[in-house]
Structure 1
Amino acid sequence: MDGGGWDRYVADLKTPSSYGTPDVYNGWSQGIGVGFRGFAPGGLGLLVASGDGDDTYQAGDFSQGTGYFFGLGILADSGGDDHYSGARYAQGAAAHQAVGVLLDDSGDDIYHGSVAANQGAAWDASVAVLVDLAGNDRYQGGGLSQGASAMNGVGWLYDRGGNDSYQTPSGQADGGSTRYWGGRGALNLGLLMDEGGRDDYSRPDRMDGAEFRGSRVGLFLDAVSTP
Protein backbone atom coordinates (compact mmCIF):
# COMPACT_ATOMS: atom_id res chain seq x y z
CA MET A 1 0.00 0.00 0.00
CA ASP A 2 1.33 3.41 -1.01
CA GLY A 3 0.13 6.58 0.70
CA GLY A 4 0.69 9.09 -2.10
CA GLY A 5 3.25 10.83 -4.28
CA TRP A 6 4.35 10.45 -7.87
CA ASP A 7 5.50 6.86 -7.93
CA ARG A 8 7.07 4.53 -10.47
CA TYR A 9 6.62 0.77 -10.26
CA VAL A 10 8.81 -1.41 -12.51
CA ALA A 11 8.72 -5.19 -12.99
CA ASP A 12 10.14 -5.60 -16.48
CA LEU A 13 13.26 -6.13 -18.62
CA LYS A 14 14.80 -8.82 -16.42
CA THR A 15 13.44 -12.35 -17.01
CA PRO A 16 12.43 -13.23 -20.60
CA SER A 17 8.79 -14.12 -21.19
CA SER A 18 7.85 -17.72 -20.47
CA TYR A 19 6.07 -17.69 -23.83
CA GLY A 20 9.32 -17.02 -25.67
CA THR A 21 8.05 -13.78 -27.20
CA PRO A 22 11.03 -11.67 -28.33
CA ASP A 23 11.63 -8.48 -26.35
CA VAL A 24 8.89 -9.35 -23.84
CA TYR A 25 9.59 -10.15 -20.20
CA ASN A 26 7.84 -11.67 -17.22
CA GLY A 27 6.23 -9.31 -14.76
CA TRP A 28 4.32 -11.26 -12.10
CA SER A 29 3.88 -8.11 -10.06
CA GLN A 30 1.79 -5.03 -9.27
CA GLY A 31 -1.33 -6.66 -7.87
CA ILE A 32 -1.27 -10.27 -9.06
CA GLY A 33 -2.76 -13.30 -7.33
CA VAL A 34 -1.01 -16.50 -8.41
CA GLY A 35 -1.71 -20.18 -8.03
CA PHE A 36 0.71 -22.83 -9.28
CA ARG A 37 -0.99 -25.02 -11.89
CA GLY A 38 -0.70 -28.69 -11.04
CA PHE A 39 0.50 -27.97 -7.50
CA ALA A 40 -1.46 -25.38 -5.50
CA PRO A 41 -4.40 -23.14 -6.44
CA GLY A 42 -5.15 -19.68 -5.14
CA GLY A 43 -3.18 -16.66 -4.09
CA LEU A 44 -4.00 -13.02 -3.33
CA GLY A 45 -2.11 -10.00 -4.63
CA LEU A 46 -3.06 -6.40 -3.84
CA LEU A 47 -1.48 -3.07 -4.75
CA VAL A 48 -3.21 0.08 -3.50
CA ALA A 49 -1.91 3.55 -4.42
CA SER A 50 -3.77 6.40 -2.73
CA GLY A 51 -3.44 10.13 -3.33
CA ASP A 52 -3.45 12.13 -6.54
CA GLY A 53 0.07 11.50 -7.80
CA ASP A 54 0.77 10.76 -11.45
CA ASP A 55 1.98 7.18 -11.14
CA THR A 56 3.75 4.99 -13.70
CA TYR A 57 3.31 1.23 -13.77
CA GLN A 58 5.67 -0.69 -16.06
CA ALA A 59 5.61 -4.49 -16.17
CA GLY A 60 5.78 -7.53 -18.43
CA ASP A 61 3.51 -10.58 -18.64
CA PHE A 62 0.99 -11.11 -15.82
CA SER A 63 0.76 -7.81 -14.02
CA GLN A 64 -1.37 -4.86 -12.90
CA GLY A 65 -4.49 -6.41 -11.42
CA THR A 66 -4.30 -9.95 -12.79
CA GLY A 67 -5.37 -13.32 -11.39
CA TYR A 68 -3.93 -16.70 -12.39
CA PHE A 69 -5.12 -20.23 -11.51
CA PHE A 70 -7.72 -19.57 -8.82
CA GLY A 71 -5.88 -16.42 -7.73
CA LEU A 72 -7.27 -12.94 -7.06
CA GLY A 73 -5.22 -9.93 -8.16
CA ILE A 74 -6.21 -6.30 -7.57
CA LEU A 75 -4.57 -2.98 -8.44
CA ALA A 76 -6.38 0.11 -7.14
CA ASP A 77 -5.23 3.68 -7.84
CA SER A 78 -7.21 6.56 -6.37
CA GLY A 79 -6.18 9.43 -8.67
CA GLY A 80 -3.70 11.24 -10.86
CA ASP A 81 -2.78 10.99 -14.53
CA ASP A 82 -1.43 7.46 -14.49
CA HIS A 83 0.40 5.42 -17.12
CA TYR A 84 0.04 1.64 -17.19
CA SER A 85 2.28 -0.39 -19.47
CA GLY A 86 2.14 -4.20 -19.62
CA ALA A 87 2.54 -7.08 -22.05
CA ARG A 88 0.41 -10.26 -21.89
CA TYR A 89 -2.33 -10.57 -19.25
CA ALA A 90 -2.20 -7.08 -17.81
CA GLN A 91 -4.51 -4.33 -16.53
CA GLY A 92 -7.51 -6.23 -15.24
CA ALA A 93 -6.92 -9.69 -16.70
CA ALA A 94 -7.35 -13.29 -15.58
CA ALA A 95 -6.61 -16.84 -16.69
CA HIS A 96 -7.57 -20.32 -15.46
CA GLN A 97 -10.43 -19.92 -12.98
CA ALA A 98 -9.11 -16.66 -11.56
CA VAL A 99 -10.22 -13.07 -10.97
CA GLY A 100 -8.30 -9.91 -11.91
CA VAL A 101 -9.35 -6.32 -11.20
CA LEU A 102 -7.90 -2.88 -11.96
CA LEU A 103 -9.68 0.13 -10.43
CA ASP A 104 -8.71 3.73 -11.23
CA ASP A 105 -10.75 6.52 -9.66
CA SER A 106 -9.75 9.56 -11.71
CA GLY A 107 -7.24 11.28 -13.97
CA ASP A 108 -6.33 11.25 -17.65
CA ASP A 109 -4.86 7.78 -17.80
CA ILE A 110 -2.97 5.77 -20.42
CA TYR A 111 -3.30 2.00 -20.63
CA HIS A 112 -0.94 0.14 -22.95
CA GLY A 113 -0.85 -3.61 -23.47
CA SER A 114 1.71 -4.73 -26.03
CA VAL A 115 0.85 -8.41 -26.63
CA ALA A 116 -2.60 -9.79 -25.71
CA ALA A 117 -5.28 -10.16 -23.04
CA ASN A 118 -5.33 -6.65 -21.62
CA GLN A 119 -7.83 -4.24 -20.11
CA GLY A 120 -10.70 -6.42 -18.97
CA ALA A 121 -9.69 -9.70 -20.66
CA ALA A 122 -10.55 -13.18 -19.36
CA TRP A 123 -9.38 -16.66 -20.39
CA ASP A 124 -10.57 -20.10 -19.26
CA ALA A 125 -13.50 -19.72 -16.86
CA SER A 126 -12.14 -16.50 -15.35
CA VAL A 127 -13.47 -13.03 -14.55
CA ALA A 128 -11.52 -9.88 -15.46
CA VAL A 129 -12.53 -6.27 -14.84
CA LEU A 130 -11.09 -2.83 -15.54
CA VAL A 131 -13.01 0.13 -14.10
CA ASP A 132 -12.03 3.75 -14.76
CA LEU A 133 -14.32 6.29 -13.13
CA ALA A 134 -13.20 9.62 -14.63
CA GLY A 135 -10.85 11.38 -17.03
CA ASN A 136 -9.93 11.45 -20.70
CA ASP A 137 -8.30 8.06 -21.08
CA ARG A 138 -6.39 6.19 -23.78
CA TYR A 139 -6.57 2.42 -24.12
CA GLN A 140 -4.14 0.59 -26.42
CA GLY A 141 -4.44 -3.18 -26.26
CA GLY A 142 -3.10 -6.28 -27.95
CA GLY A 143 -5.43 -9.01 -29.15
CA LEU A 144 -8.32 -10.11 -26.93
CA SER A 145 -8.54 -6.78 -25.14
CA GLN A 146 -10.95 -4.14 -23.82
CA GLY A 147 -13.85 -6.17 -22.54
CA ALA A 148 -13.05 -9.49 -24.19
CA SER A 149 -13.14 -13.14 -23.17
CA ALA A 150 -12.37 -16.61 -24.44
CA MET A 151 -12.80 -20.17 -23.17
CA ASN A 152 -15.89 -19.49 -21.04
CA GLY A 153 -14.76 -16.28 -19.35
CA VAL A 154 -16.24 -12.90 -18.45
CA GLY A 155 -14.27 -9.78 -19.44
CA TRP A 156 -15.52 -6.27 -18.65
CA LEU A 157 -14.16 -2.78 -19.29
CA TYR A 158 -16.21 0.04 -17.76
CA ASP A 159 -15.38 3.74 -18.27
CA ARG A 160 -17.74 6.18 -16.58
CA GLY A 161 -16.96 9.26 -18.66
CA GLY A 162 -14.50 11.48 -20.49
CA ASN A 163 -13.27 11.70 -24.06
CA ASP A 164 -11.60 8.33 -24.50
CA SER A 165 -9.69 6.43 -27.18
CA TYR A 166 -9.88 2.65 -27.59
CA GLN A 167 -7.43 0.91 -29.93
CA THR A 168 -6.93 -2.84 -30.30
CA PRO A 169 -6.67 -5.37 -33.16
CA SER A 170 -9.36 -7.58 -31.60
CA GLY A 171 -11.82 -7.37 -28.74
CA GLN A 172 -13.90 -4.35 -27.66
CA ALA A 173 -16.86 -6.33 -26.31
CA ASP A 174 -16.26 -9.67 -27.95
CA GLY A 175 -16.28 -13.31 -26.98
CA GLY A 176 -13.82 -15.64 -28.66
CA SER A 177 -13.44 -19.41 -28.84
CA THR A 178 -15.10 -21.77 -26.35
CA ARG A 179 -13.20 -24.93 -27.33
CA TYR A 180 -10.67 -25.11 -24.50
CA TRP A 181 -10.51 -28.59 -22.95
CA GLY A 182 -13.05 -29.74 -25.53
CA GLY A 183 -15.61 -27.10 -24.54
CA ARG A 184 -17.83 -26.88 -21.47
CA GLY A 185 -21.11 -25.98 -23.11
CA ALA A 186 -20.76 -22.44 -21.73
CA LEU A 187 -20.53 -19.12 -23.54
CA ASN A 188 -18.13 -16.22 -23.19
CA LEU A 189 -19.20 -12.75 -22.16
CA GLY A 190 -17.28 -9.64 -23.22
CA LEU A 191 -18.52 -6.20 -22.17
CA LEU A 192 -17.30 -2.70 -22.99
CA MET A 193 -19.38 0.07 -21.44
CA ASP A 194 -18.59 3.79 -21.79
CA GLU A 195 -21.04 6.20 -20.17
CA GLY A 196 -20.19 9.50 -21.83
CA GLY A 197 -17.86 11.81 -23.70
CA ARG A 198 -16.62 11.81 -27.27
CA ASP A 199 -14.90 8.52 -27.86
CA ASP A 200 -12.84 6.93 -30.60
CA TYR A 201 -12.72 3.20 -31.38
CA SER A 202 -10.53 1.15 -33.70
CA ARG A 203 -13.44 -1.10 -34.71
CA PRO A 204 -15.74 0.59 -37.24
CA ASP A 205 -18.91 -0.83 -35.66
CA ARG A 206 -18.07 0.70 -32.26
CA MET A 207 -18.97 4.38 -31.95
CA ASP A 208 -20.55 7.04 -29.75
CA GLY A 209 -24.19 6.39 -28.96
CA ALA A 210 -24.08 2.82 -30.28
CA GLU A 211 -25.17 -0.43 -28.72
CA PHE A 212 -24.05 -3.79 -30.04
CA ARG A 213 -24.79 -7.34 -29.00
CA GLY A 214 -22.59 -10.01 -30.49
CA SER A 215 -23.51 -13.61 -30.99
CA ARG A 216 -20.53 -15.04 -29.04
CA VAL A 217 -21.60 -13.08 -26.63
CA GLY A 218 -20.49 -9.44 -26.65
CA LEU A 219 -22.18 -6.34 -25.31
CA PHE A 220 -20.98 -2.88 -26.33
CA LEU A 221 -22.67 0.24 -24.97
CA ASP A 222 -21.55 3.85 -25.45
CA ALA A 223 -23.93 6.34 -23.88
CA VAL A 224 -24.10 9.86 -25.27
CA SER A 225 -23.54 12.62 -22.72
CA THR A 226 -26.45 15.00 -22.25
CA PRO A 227 -25.72 18.75 -22.32
Structure 2
Amino acid sequence: MSNLIADVKIPDSKLAKEAAELLREYGDELLWNHSNRVFLFGALQGTQNNVKYDPELLYISALFHDLGLTKHYSSPDKRFEVDGANAARDFLNSHGVPQESIRLVWDAIALHTTIGVAQYKEPEVALLYHGVGYDVMGENFDAISEELRHEIVTAFPRNDFKNRIIPAFFEGFKHKTETTFGNIKADVCAAMIPDFKRTNFCDCIHHSPWNE
Protein backbone atom coordinates (compact mmCIF):
# COMPACT_ATOMS: atom_id res chain seq x y z
CA MET A 1 0.00 0.00 0.00
CA SER A 2 1.21 3.49 -0.82
CA ASN A 3 2.19 5.57 2.18
CA LEU A 4 0.54 8.59 0.54
CA ILE A 5 -3.22 8.51 1.00
CA ALA A 6 -5.57 11.44 0.40
CA ASP A 7 -2.52 13.68 0.02
CA VAL A 8 -1.33 12.71 3.51
CA LYS A 9 1.95 10.88 4.01
CA ILE A 10 1.72 8.09 6.54
CA PRO A 11 4.88 8.27 8.70
CA ASP A 12 7.31 5.46 7.92
CA SER A 13 10.09 6.05 10.42
CA LYS A 14 11.40 3.10 12.44
CA LEU A 15 9.45 4.37 15.45
CA ALA A 16 6.24 4.68 13.46
CA LYS A 17 6.62 1.23 11.93
CA GLU A 18 7.22 -0.39 15.32
CA ALA A 19 4.13 1.32 16.73
CA ALA A 20 2.12 0.05 13.77
CA GLU A 21 3.42 -3.47 14.40
CA LEU A 22 2.10 -3.33 17.98
CA LEU A 23 -1.36 -2.41 16.77
CA ARG A 24 -1.20 -5.20 14.19
CA GLU A 25 -0.14 -7.67 16.90
CA TYR A 26 -2.54 -6.76 19.69
CA GLY A 27 -5.42 -5.07 17.89
CA ASP A 28 -7.68 -6.37 15.16
CA GLU A 29 -8.90 -5.34 11.73
CA LEU A 30 -11.53 -3.02 13.20
CA LEU A 31 -9.01 -1.08 15.32
CA TRP A 32 -6.36 -1.10 12.59
CA ASN A 33 -8.61 0.50 10.00
CA HIS A 34 -10.22 2.89 12.49
CA SER A 35 -6.89 4.08 13.90
CA ASN A 36 -5.44 4.75 10.47
CA ARG A 37 -8.56 6.61 9.38
CA VAL A 38 -8.38 8.68 12.57
CA PHE A 39 -4.82 9.71 11.72
CA LEU A 40 -5.70 10.60 8.15
CA PHE A 41 -8.85 12.52 9.03
CA GLY A 42 -7.03 14.40 11.80
CA ALA A 43 -4.05 15.16 9.57
CA LEU A 44 -6.29 16.42 6.77
CA GLN A 45 -8.06 18.79 9.12
CA GLY A 46 -4.71 20.02 10.37
CA THR A 47 -3.50 20.72 6.85
CA GLN A 48 -6.74 22.39 5.79
CA ASN A 49 -6.63 24.69 8.81
CA ASN A 50 -2.91 25.46 8.45
CA VAL A 51 -2.14 23.89 11.81
CA LYS A 52 1.50 23.07 12.47
CA TYR A 53 1.80 19.62 14.04
CA ASP A 54 4.16 16.66 14.28
CA PRO A 55 2.82 13.94 11.91
CA GLU A 56 4.80 11.17 13.63
CA LEU A 57 3.41 12.03 17.07
CA LEU A 58 -0.12 12.30 15.70
CA TYR A 59 0.27 8.95 13.94
CA ILE A 60 1.57 7.18 17.03
CA SER A 61 -1.21 8.74 19.09
CA ALA A 62 -3.76 7.41 16.61
CA LEU A 63 -2.24 3.93 16.60
CA PHE A 64 -2.32 3.70 20.40
CA HIS A 65 -5.54 5.59 21.10
CA ASP A 66 -7.74 2.47 21.37
CA LEU A 67 -5.11 -0.11 22.36
CA GLY A 68 -6.35 0.19 25.94
CA LEU A 69 -9.39 -1.77 24.77
CA THR A 70 -7.27 -4.83 24.02
CA LYS A 71 -6.63 -7.62 26.52
CA HIS A 72 -2.89 -7.09 26.30
CA TYR A 73 -3.01 -3.47 27.44
CA SER A 74 -6.19 -3.36 29.51
CA SER A 75 -5.80 -2.80 33.26
CA PRO A 76 -8.33 -3.98 35.85
CA ASP A 77 -9.12 -0.50 37.14
CA LYS A 78 -8.15 2.35 34.81
CA ARG A 79 -10.04 4.03 31.99
CA PHE A 80 -9.14 2.44 28.68
CA GLU A 81 -7.94 5.82 27.43
CA VAL A 82 -5.39 5.92 30.27
CA ASP A 83 -4.30 2.34 29.55
CA GLY A 84 -3.62 3.29 25.93
CA ALA A 85 -1.81 6.46 26.99
CA ASN A 86 0.36 4.54 29.46
CA ALA A 87 1.19 1.94 26.81
CA ALA A 88 2.27 4.68 24.40
CA ARG A 89 4.35 6.34 27.11
CA ASP A 90 6.16 3.08 27.90
CA PHE A 91 6.79 2.49 24.20
CA LEU A 92 8.15 5.98 23.60
CA ASN A 93 10.25 5.94 26.77
CA SER A 94 11.85 2.71 25.61
CA HIS A 95 12.93 4.48 22.43
CA GLY A 96 14.37 7.54 24.15
CA VAL A 97 11.78 9.98 22.83
CA PRO A 98 11.91 13.43 24.53
CA GLN A 99 9.59 13.82 27.51
CA GLU A 100 7.70 16.76 26.02
CA SER A 101 6.78 14.65 22.99
CA ILE A 102 5.75 11.79 25.25
CA ARG A 103 3.53 14.14 27.25
CA LEU A 104 1.79 15.30 24.09
CA VAL A 105 1.07 11.73 23.00
CA TRP A 106 -0.10 10.76 26.49
CA ASP A 107 -2.48 13.73 26.64
CA ALA A 108 -3.77 13.12 23.13
CA ILE A 109 -4.71 9.53 23.91
CA ALA A 110 -5.96 10.07 27.46
CA LEU A 111 -8.18 12.98 26.38
CA HIS A 112 -9.43 11.75 23.03
CA THR A 113 -12.97 11.18 24.38
CA THR A 114 -13.01 14.28 26.60
CA ILE A 115 -15.48 16.58 24.91
CA GLY A 116 -15.03 20.27 25.62
CA VAL A 117 -11.36 20.01 26.65
CA ALA A 118 -9.17 18.18 24.12
CA GLN A 119 -9.97 20.49 21.20
CA TYR A 120 -8.42 23.42 23.06
CA LYS A 121 -5.06 21.80 23.75
CA GLU A 122 -1.92 21.42 21.62
CA PRO A 123 -2.31 20.59 17.91
CA GLU A 124 -1.50 16.88 18.23
CA VAL A 125 -4.06 16.53 21.04
CA ALA A 126 -6.73 18.51 19.24
CA LEU A 127 -6.20 16.79 15.88
CA LEU A 128 -6.45 13.31 17.36
CA TYR A 129 -9.68 14.37 19.05
CA HIS A 130 -11.04 15.76 15.77
CA GLY A 131 -9.96 12.67 13.84
CA VAL A 132 -11.78 10.43 16.30
CA GLY A 133 -14.87 12.62 16.23
CA TYR A 134 -14.88 12.60 12.44
CA ASP A 135 -14.56 8.82 12.09
CA VAL A 136 -16.87 7.80 14.92
CA MET A 137 -19.60 10.45 14.81
CA GLY A 138 -19.07 12.25 11.51
CA GLU A 139 -18.37 15.59 13.20
CA ASN A 140 -17.88 18.41 10.67
CA PHE A 141 -18.46 15.83 7.98
CA ASP A 142 -18.41 18.22 5.03
CA ALA A 143 -15.04 19.65 6.07
CA ILE A 144 -13.43 16.80 4.07
CA SER A 145 -14.42 16.24 0.47
CA GLU A 146 -16.22 13.12 -0.70
CA GLU A 147 -13.25 12.32 -2.94
CA LEU A 148 -10.76 12.33 -0.05
CA ARG A 149 -13.16 10.42 2.22
CA HIS A 150 -13.54 7.77 -0.47
CA GLU A 151 -9.78 7.41 -0.88
CA ILE A 152 -9.30 6.94 2.87
CA VAL A 153 -12.16 4.49 3.28
CA THR A 154 -10.95 2.50 0.26
CA ALA A 155 -7.54 2.13 1.89
CA PHE A 156 -8.94 1.48 5.37
CA PRO A 157 -12.52 0.15 4.98
CA ARG A 158 -15.24 0.83 7.53
CA ASN A 159 -16.75 -2.67 7.17
CA ASP A 160 -19.97 -2.05 9.13
CA PHE A 161 -18.09 0.16 11.60
CA LYS A 162 -21.25 1.79 12.96
CA ASN A 163 -22.61 -1.52 14.19
CA ARG A 164 -19.30 -3.03 15.30
CA ILE A 165 -17.65 -0.23 17.25
CA ILE A 166 -20.06 0.00 20.21
CA PRO A 167 -19.72 -3.73 21.08
CA ALA A 168 -15.95 -3.37 20.59
CA PHE A 169 -15.86 -0.48 23.05
CA PHE A 170 -17.89 -2.47 25.55
CA GLU A 171 -15.71 -5.56 25.21
CA GLY A 172 -12.76 -3.42 26.25
CA PHE A 173 -14.19 -2.22 29.56
CA LYS A 174 -17.07 -4.54 30.48
CA HIS A 175 -14.94 -5.82 33.39
CA LYS A 176 -14.57 -2.30 34.81
CA THR A 177 -17.73 -0.38 33.99
CA GLU A 178 -17.08 1.88 36.96
CA THR A 179 -14.34 3.55 34.92
CA THR A 180 -17.01 5.07 32.66
CA PHE A 181 -18.32 7.29 35.46
CA GLY A 182 -18.33 10.89 34.30
CA ASN A 183 -17.45 10.17 30.67
CA ILE A 184 -19.23 9.35 27.43
CA LYS A 185 -18.47 5.64 27.59
CA ALA A 186 -21.18 5.29 30.22
CA ASP A 187 -23.51 5.61 27.22
CA VAL A 188 -21.96 2.42 25.83
CA CYS A 189 -22.65 0.57 29.08
CA ALA A 190 -26.23 1.83 29.06
CA ALA A 191 -26.65 0.53 25.50
CA MET A 192 -25.14 -2.88 26.23
CA ILE A 193 -26.27 -3.70 29.78
CA PRO A 194 -30.00 -4.02 30.59
CA ASP A 195 -30.94 -1.81 33.55
CA PHE A 196 -27.43 -0.37 33.78
CA LYS A 197 -27.30 2.08 36.70
CA ARG A 198 -24.93 4.96 36.17
CA THR A 199 -23.02 6.42 39.06
CA ASN A 200 -24.56 9.79 39.77
CA PHE A 201 -22.35 12.73 40.72
CA CYS A 202 -25.07 14.33 42.83
CA ASP A 203 -25.50 11.07 44.77
CA CYS A 204 -21.76 11.09 45.42
CA ILE A 205 -22.12 14.51 47.01
CA HIS A 206 -25.21 13.66 49.07
CA HIS A 207 -23.78 10.34 50.27
CA SER A 208 -20.35 11.65 51.13
CA PRO A 209 -19.04 11.08 54.70
CA TRP A 210 -19.37 14.77 55.58
CA ASN A 211 -21.76 15.10 58.54
CA GLU A 212 -23.65 18.30 57.69
TM-score scaled to structure 1, two decimals?
Answer: 0.26
* Higher relative contact order (Cα pairs below 8 Å, separated by 6+ residues): 2
The structure with the largest alpha-carbon Rg is 2
Structure with greater proportional strand content: 1
